[in-house]
Amino acid sequence: MPVTSIASTPMRELHNNNKMRHMPDKDGPQDGEKDGAKKVAMEEDQYRPFTWQKPVPSKALRTSENYMLRYKCRKRPGGARGPHDETALGRGIIYPAAYLGSTQLVTTKQPTKKVRMQQAQEAVNRIKSPDGEEQPSTEVDLAISNERIRVLNADNQVSNMQETMMDHPLKTISYIADIGNIVVIMARRRQITRTLDEAMEESGVMLDAEGRRQPRKIICHVFETEDAQLIAQTIGQAFALAYLEFLKANGIEDPHAQEIDYHDVLNSQEIYGDDLMLFSNKECEKEVLVEKERGEIMGMVVVESGWGSLIPTVVIANMSPFGAAARSGKLNIGDQVMSINGTSLVGLPLQQCQQTIKGLKSQCLVKFNVVSCPPVTQVLIKRPDTKYQLGFSVQNGIICSLMRGGIAERGGVRVGHRIIEINGSSVVATAHEKIVEMLSTSVGEIRMKTMPLSMYKLLTGQEQPVYI
């Protein structure tokens, strides 16, 4: 079963049989107390049994149909995105779960996401009983807040208190993974001794009592619950909320707290470009019959339309004045070839499309289906402020990379295109630094004209055409 991290977990509308309960405000140090007093209070608090105001038996809660709640993932500009209200998450959210067990794994200082996912799967393989065998488990409540994650004994609710089985400050949590109905919470092991040991750990070196380097280890807790995905989302939101509070406490401006959320900017960006109009208009698609001598080549050059184009196919970049394609008088530079003799070229690699055209040499009549497009692509990007990234990179006027789903892609930007013009000013002979400055400082409507680089070089004589 594949492992998904909280970063890639999609947020969706969920129905829940009151499996989430808000934790009451925790007693803690008040504003104005000294940092030392706060630290002592936090250290003492993590060993106290967890209390709530109105305990509800967990088993009854699991079967009750009277507390049906619906939670939606909310968009909060400048806040922590997630399934819960931030105030409630600050107090804490409780999820019932079955605790399956814990295991310890050796890890590196900064493992990759792939390694973390493999570690999560290994933890599950170690603890989860094979199918058909009885799985030992303990009913617990997972208490999640923006400060810590606690595991509470769900069967011990005496005097409005629950026994704390495990307690991890949020900063010690290194990774969360949900695998179907399984949640794996990975936490760094806390050092028993402090001072020198702690300093060595922070520097990336851990030594044993004899001064030898110790392998770095993490503890993996495995839980089973129907709310595995929602728990992962909640912990992710807790991290985001803790980060925002850290910035606020240190007087740092939140880079994500913007007047207009980037997603709102994205939604305001219409899908722009001639392609949208041309491909949606049947009259712009035409069928062209090209007559030629047997053994004669078509006499054309085709290039890729560019990553990010509405329909990925090949574009006619050049034609021999005396070739069969030019003699037909019906094909033009810029035309996007959809199919040849009924065989679609959409989505095929450039080399395969070129081989298809070369294979026409033995034929006397060839049928092209093309969409007539101008050789220059029009781009329109709506950017209300410079704090919103454009979502593409440029090197010497050539678009090198593009963020999928960003405002640039929607505006018509394509990888592999040469920028010809920006807001009415030609940049053909403009230095790279100047182009970057023009793009990085432009706001409002940014209009560009681009062209596939290969086509640009052929039209400007920088490359000699090789006709096929």
Position 122 scores a pLDDT of: 93
Q: How confident is the model at residue 305 (pLDDT cuts 50, 70, 90)?
A: confident
Whether the pLDDT of residue 255 is over 60: the answer is no
- Of 64 and 25, which is predicted with more confidence? 25
Q: Are 302 and 291 in contact (CB under 8 A)?
A: no
Residue 441 backbone dihedrals phi, psi, to 5 degrees: -100, -5
Work out the percent of the chain whose per-residue pLDDT is above 90: 31
Residues in a beta bridge with 168: 149
- Of 445 and 283, which is predicted with more confidence? 445
Tell me the mean pLDDT in the region 243-253: 75
Look up residue 294 and give its two tokens.
């047997």
Enumerate domains of the chain plus CATH numbers: 4-249 (2.30.29.30), 274-371 (2.30.42.10), 377-459 (2.30.42.10)
**CA–CA separation, 448 vs 457, rounded Å?**
18
Tell me the mean pLDDT in the region 368-389: 86
- Of 62 and 413, which is predicted with more confidence? 413
**CA–CA separation, 392 vs 405, rounded Å?**
11
Position 184 scores a pLDDT of: 94
**CA–CA separation, 326 vs 254, rounded Å?**
58
- Of 174 and 38, which is predicted with more confidence? 174
Tell me the mean pLDDT in the region 161-186: 88
What burial class does residue 431 get, using C-beta atoms within 10 Å of its C-beta: 0-12 exposed, 13-18 middle, 19+ buried?
A: exposed
State the first-to-last Cα distance of the chain, in angstroms, to the nearest integer: 48
Residue 18 backbone dihedrals phi, psi, to 5 degrees: 55, 35
Where is average pLDDT lowest: 20-29, 218-227, 385-394?
20-29
Check the CA dihedral 129-131-133-137 and report its sign.
positive
Tell me the mean pLDDT in the region 13-40: 41
Position 374 scores a pLDDT of: 84
**CA–CA separation, 304 vs 306, rounded Å?**
5
Position 153 scores a pLDDT of: 87
Tell me the mean pLDDT in the region 442-450: 90
Position 296 scores a pLDDT of: 93
- Of 406 and 40, which is predicted with more confidence? 406
Sole residue written with tokens 């030392």 = 36
Whether the pLDDT of residue 261 is over 70: the answer is no
Position 90 scores a pLDDT of: 83
Q: What residue type is 58 in one-letter code?
A: S
Checking DSSP bridges between strand 50-51 and strand 161-169, what pairing results, if any? antiparallel
Position 21 scores a pLDDT of: 46
Whether the pLDDT of residue 211 is over 70: the answer is no
DSSP notation for 139-200: EEEEEE-SSEEEEEEEEEEETTEEEEEEEEEGGGEEEEEEETTEEEEEEEPPPSS-THHHHH
Whether the pLDDT of residue 303 is over 60: the answer is yes
Tell me the mean pLDDT in the region 64-82: 40
C-alpha separations of 377 from 33, 276, 315, 321, 413 in Å: 62, 12, 12, 24, 9
Q: 3-class SS at 342? A: coil
Tell me the mean pLDDT in the region 296-316: 85
Q: How confident is the model at residue 267 (pLDDT cuts 50, 70, 90)?
A: low
Look up residue 96 and give its two tokens.
């019932």
Position 156 scores a pLDDT of: 64
Position 280 scores a pLDDT of: 61
Could you tell me which residues come within 8 angstroms of residue 140 by beta carbon, excluding any fewer than 6 positions away?
96, 97, 98, 99, 151, 152, 153, 154, 165, 223
Where is average pLDDT lowest: 79-93, 363-377, 425-439?
79-93
Q: How confident is the model at residue 339 (pLDDT cuts 50, 70, 90)?
A: very high
Position 406 scores a pLDDT of: 79
Position 270 scores a pLDDT of: 61
C-alpha separations of 225 from 6, 78, 119, 138, 319 in Å: 16, 31, 20, 12, 64
What burial class does residue 464 get, using C-beta atoms within 10 Å of its C-beta: 0-12 exposed, 13-18 middle, 19+ buried?
A: exposed
Position 243 scores a pLDDT of: 82
pTM of the model: 0.43
Whether the pLDDT of residue 170 is over 80: the answer is yes
Whether the pLDDT of residue 408 is over 60: the answer is yes
Pick the closest to residue 99 from 58, 126, 137, 130 (CA basis): 137
Could you tell me which residues come within 8 angstroms of residue 387 by beta carbon, excluding any fewer than 6 positions away?
255, 258
Position 144 scores a pLDDT of: 92
DSSP notation for 98-153: EEEEEEEEEE-SS--HHHHHHHHHHHHHHHSPPTTS----EEEEEEE-SSEEEEEE
Neighbours of 331 (CB within 10 A): 23
Q: What is the overall mean pLDDT for the chain?
A: 75
